[in-house]
Amino acid sequence: MKIGFIGLGIMGKPMVKNLLKAGHEVIAYDIIKENVDDVVAAGAKAGASSKAIAEECTTIITMLPNSPHVKTVICGENGVLEGAKAGTAIIDMSSIAPLASQEIEKECAKKGVKMLDAPVSGGEPKAIDGSLSIMVGGDKALFDSVKDLLLCMGASAVHCGAIGAGNTTKLANQVVVALNIAAVAEAFTLARKAGVDPNLVFDAIKGGLAGSTVMNAKAPMMIGGDFKPGFKIDLHIKDLSNALDTGHGVGSPLPLTAAVMEMMQTLRADGFGQDDHSSLAKYYAKLSGTTIQP
């Protein structure tokens, strides 16, 4: 299948490479030339613009930072809808506000273009090994027709409901992840401050009820002081902002989310916005005067 792919950041590049490994032809575009060059070296073809990709491909994947970027790429000047034919399918795998997905889908429908919102969870490591969790909103028949394509990039792809449901599910995911990371950072700082080796704490509790995929991924980073971004604080702030806005809109209070959002805002103010979200450990180091790592 010929796939158009727009957005080649930390997540997009490995996702394209997995599509190529699965035998798909990929025409890729990004505003950063080096990102395009990276996937071209892996076998993709370079697209000239979002519009040009839509003129060539009837299945298009977007993987972009936030709602405004998706709106511009799909609905803006020289965007996908300017080049798309009726029947084109857009799979937006960005993590954006559910309302934005619904608004973009309405614009697509005016041109006979179909759209799914299909955000992912797993960060860069799972994007690289093709084991992302993909949560999808939109027409079920369209989902069924592209599920095998999605599974070239993920270990699971679940249809969650109408358009916007994928991003609502992703917001729930991001709330759980953020609070879990904060809890791990708080607990391991307590251990270090009390004189207990966090490595031993990790070994002791990871197999019990406190164990989680988040702990397994992030505790070693905190203990090792490795905050190379798999998912940046700045991006998690974006997701929590969307979660809080959505919660306010539907009348669902998110007090714990709001607290972790303020922790992340503090880290951004301290210059750590581009660090991995495991750098919540730095927030606790600031409070306690003790780092988790030796």
Catalytically annotated residues: 170
Angstrom distance (rounded) from CA 187 to CA 87: 52
Angstrom distance (rounded) from CA 198 to CA 200: 5
Give the C-alpha distances (Å, rounded to integers) separating 287 from 192, 227, 266, 280, 281. 13, 18, 11, 11, 10
Environment class of 252 (CB within 10 Å of its CB; exposed 0-12, middle 13-18, buried 19+): exposed
User: How many Å is the Cα radius of gyration of the chain?
Assistant: 20
Q: Residues 244, 258: contact at Cβ < 8 Å?
A: yes
